[in-house]
Amino acid sequence: MISRIPRLARPVLLRRTTPVLFDALIFAAILAAFYGLLAMARYWVGAAIPVTDISRSPWALPRYAFYSVMRIAVAYVASLFFAVAYGYIAAYNRLLQGFMVAVLDILQSIPVLSFLPGVMLAMVALFPQKQLGIELGSIILIFTGQVWNMAFSFYSSLRSIPRELREAAAISRFSKWQRFLQLELPFGAIGLVWNSIVSVAGGWFFLMACEMFVLGNRDFRLPGLGSYLQIAASAGDTRSMLWGLATMIGVIILIDQLIWGPVIAWSDKFKFEQVEGEAPRSALLHILRTSPALEILRRKTLAPIAERLDLYFAKLATAHTEHSVGASRRKELAAWISAVVCVFIAIIAIVYCLIQALALLAHLHSAQILGVLQAAGATFLRVNSALVIASVWTIPAGVLIGFHPKLARIAQPLTQIAASVPATALFPVLLLGIVQIGGGLGVGSILLMLLGTQWYILFNVIAGASAVPSDLKEVADLFHFSSLDRWRTVILPGIFPYLVTGLVTASGGAWNASIVAEYFHFKNQVMSTVGLGAQISAATDAGRFDILLLATVIMAALVVSINRLVWRPLYRLAETKYRLES
């Protein structure tokens, strides 16, 4: 009988050198990121470049990729802070809640190109001699394509926090800061993470419009992947387009492995459940958690600071409780005064803007106004068609991915890549195929809207399915629920708040995507169809600010009306009937 060969112990030297090697790699990555920030800052504060020449050489792609990643990263960080602050205030300030949600509805419905003239001209005028002006303009435009669904997600999460968790925080006498860090931010983490992924994907989607655009007789362009792809698409250079797409896909895969994979695995600990389920895993997150250098940093620096802050805010909460009566009255009075002042300033600003807008619109003829209204009707039908088609496949697919972490490890990177690849870069090939089978841009624009907005629904459904407690799924298994009963009693109620957020942001995203779906530059030609997005894009190219304003106002009015009549009642239903409570 052959005896079993004993397994050799792992060499002590290897056990010691491996963490040290990982620590060195982590330190090198941090140092490289810091150097990249310095390099980008040096470029931004340099002298303004009148017209940047975009090279179609593949050797320029690494530098262009670096510029685009930095713009998207800066815009994302700004979006994250804005979304958390805005969602928090909108969720808890009763005086401003309705107004802030209405403003959010309007802003997320306004297309990127509608922000373009005012933002870009203001930034260039603010920094006339520096490259920083046009760079800030591009970052702000990317910001407008990223932030709104994140703000909606955090607002929805705060409104659906279970009652027993709020009562536990009140019994523990948490201060507002402690409640935010230990309850509200963790509860909204899963939704924020998945909406961050789709927000960054939206940033990649609008990169071509944000890095290269024409405003009247002025040509604004920046070195980056978006401008590279747009130059290649305009020239019909298939080879350069493939090089640009390959570079973008490589960058997206790298970002997924280094950032989103670890963040998704980390956020799983915030799932609201009473039994432990299968959690997503990340090798990089495991390395970070087991890193000796990071552990020393956490134990010696971060943990003491966190303890002192907790103690400080706990004492602050106790002192606040002792003087709660007088302080609450003074706070209510201050809140009323602040609200009155804000409303007064808002009314003055609205009246002034209304007077200026009416003066600008006075030059339009009735035929032009009628044409914009007809275009709005055509875009309305395309947007809703895209939403229906997207919902048919994204809801079951999102539930399947969210319920199975092993599948999510495979599907999540693939969906992120698919969501991040700009449909505008793929559209020339798709358009040629549609034309060959007898279609036109009217049908092709629905496809482009679908490619740009279906991910809002998919990623929110994945977030909702991931947040469904494992004990609810175990109960469904224990009682042998049929597929219909499982969807009716567990899945749809569990994902409903996230699904509403996804549909709201997808609707606004579809309207936003119409600016590139209905008006397209290809081989130095313009292909367009009847639609509100085409009106906005054509008015931007021609510098017709009156038509641009009218089309933007009509688009915002349509989106806000839909939100008030359809999505707002569904939000109230999600906050009351479909809240996870025990």
Q: Is the pLDDT of residue 201 over 60?
A: yes
- C-alpha 412/C-alpha 420 separation (Å) is 12
283 occurs within a structural domain: yes
Give the pLDDT of residue 392. Answer: 92
Residues 87 and 175 in one domain: yes
| Helix, strand, or coil (residue 213) | strand
How high is the pLDDT of residue 4?
46
CA 401 to mean position of chain CA atoms? 20
| More confident site: 457 or 28 | 457
- CA atoms of 102 and 345, how far apart (whole Å): 17
Is the residue at 232 inside a domain? yes
SS3 label, residue 527: strand
Tell me which of 336, 363, 390 is where a domain ends. 363
Alpha-carbon span 307 to 303, nearest angstrom: 6
- Residue 17 domain-assigned (yes or no): no
pLDDT of residue 218: 65
- If you search the block for the tokens 């390959």, which residue do you land on? 246
Spatial distance between the Cα atoms of 390 and 198, rounded to a whole number of angstroms: 15
Q: Does 295 lie in the same domain as 247?
A: no
pLDDT score, position 180: 86
183 shares a domain with 296? no
Same-domain pairing of 138 and 235: yes
Largest pairwise CA distance in the chain: 99
Mean pLDDT over residues 438-450, rounded? 75
335 shares a domain with 225: no
SS3 string, 409-447, reads HHHHHHHHHHHHCCHHHHHHHHHHHHHHCCCCHHHHHHH
Same domain, 409 and 337: no
Give yes or no for residue 563 having a pLDDT over 70.
yes
What six digits make up the tokens of 354? Answer: 């209304």
Higher pLDDT, 101 or 328: 101
Q: Which pLDDT score is estimated for 521? A: 66
Q: Cβ distance 110 to 548 under 8 Å?
A: no
User: What is the rounded distance in angstroms from the CA atom of residue 464 to the CA atom of residue 497?
Assistant: 8
Task: Give the mean pLDDT of 337-355.
Answer: 76
E strand segments, 285-370? none
Residue 10 forms part of a structural domain: no
Would residue 1 count as lying in a domain?
no
* Phi, psi at 433, each rounded to 5°: -65, -40
d(CA 267, CA 187): 10
Query: What amino acid is encoded at 257 in this protein?
Result: Q
Q: How many domains does the chain have?
A: 3
Same domain, 442 and 562: yes
Enter the DSSP assignment of 269: G
Reduced to 3 states, what is the DSSP secondary structure of residue 32? helix
How does pLDDT run across 463-480, given as a tens digit for each residue? 888 878 777 777 877 887
Residue 507 sits in a domain whose CATH number is 1.10.3720.10
Q: For residue range 135-171, what is the model confidence (pLDDT) as tens digits? A: 888 888 888 878 888 888 888 888 888 888 888 888 8
The full 3-state SS of 52-97, as one line of letters, equals: CCCCCCHHHHHHHHHHHHHHHHHHHHHHHHHHHHHHHHHHHCHHHH
Asked if 152 and 227 sit in the same domain, the reply is yes
Same domain, residue pair 64 and 146:
yes
pLDDT above 90 for 81? yes
User: Which of these ranges, 163-172, 254-263, 353-362, 558-567, has the smallest mean pLDDT?
Assistant: 353-362
Considering the domain architecture, whether residues 144 and 230 belong to the same structural domain is answered as yes
Question: Half-sphere exposure of 344 toward its Cβ, with a 13 Å CA cutoff?
Answer: 6
Residues 369 and 359 in one domain: no
In a domain, residue 19? The reply is: no
Q: Range of 211's domain?
A: 24-290+364-576
65 in any annotated domain: yes
Would 540 be classed as within a structural domain?
yes
pLDDT tens per residue, range 265-288 = 888 777 765 555 555 667 777 777
Mean pLDDT of the chain: 76
User: In the predicted model, what is the mean pLDDT of residues 328-346?
Assistant: 70
Instruction: Please tell me what DSSP assigns to residue 217.
Output: T
Instruction: State the Cα–Cα distance between residues 361 and 550, nearest whole angstrom.
Output: 7
Final residue belonging to a domain, choices 310, 336, 363 = 363
Q: What is the pLDDT of residues 370-379, one digit of tens each?
A: 888 888 888 8
pLDDT, tens digit, 9 for 90 and up, residues 481-538: 888 888 888 888 888 888 888 888 788 778 877 877 787 766 666 777 888 888 888 8
- 116 has a pLDDT exceeding 90: no
Is the predicted pLDDT of residue 332 greater than 90, yes or no? no
Within this chain, do residues 345 and 462 fall inside the same structural domain, yes or no? no
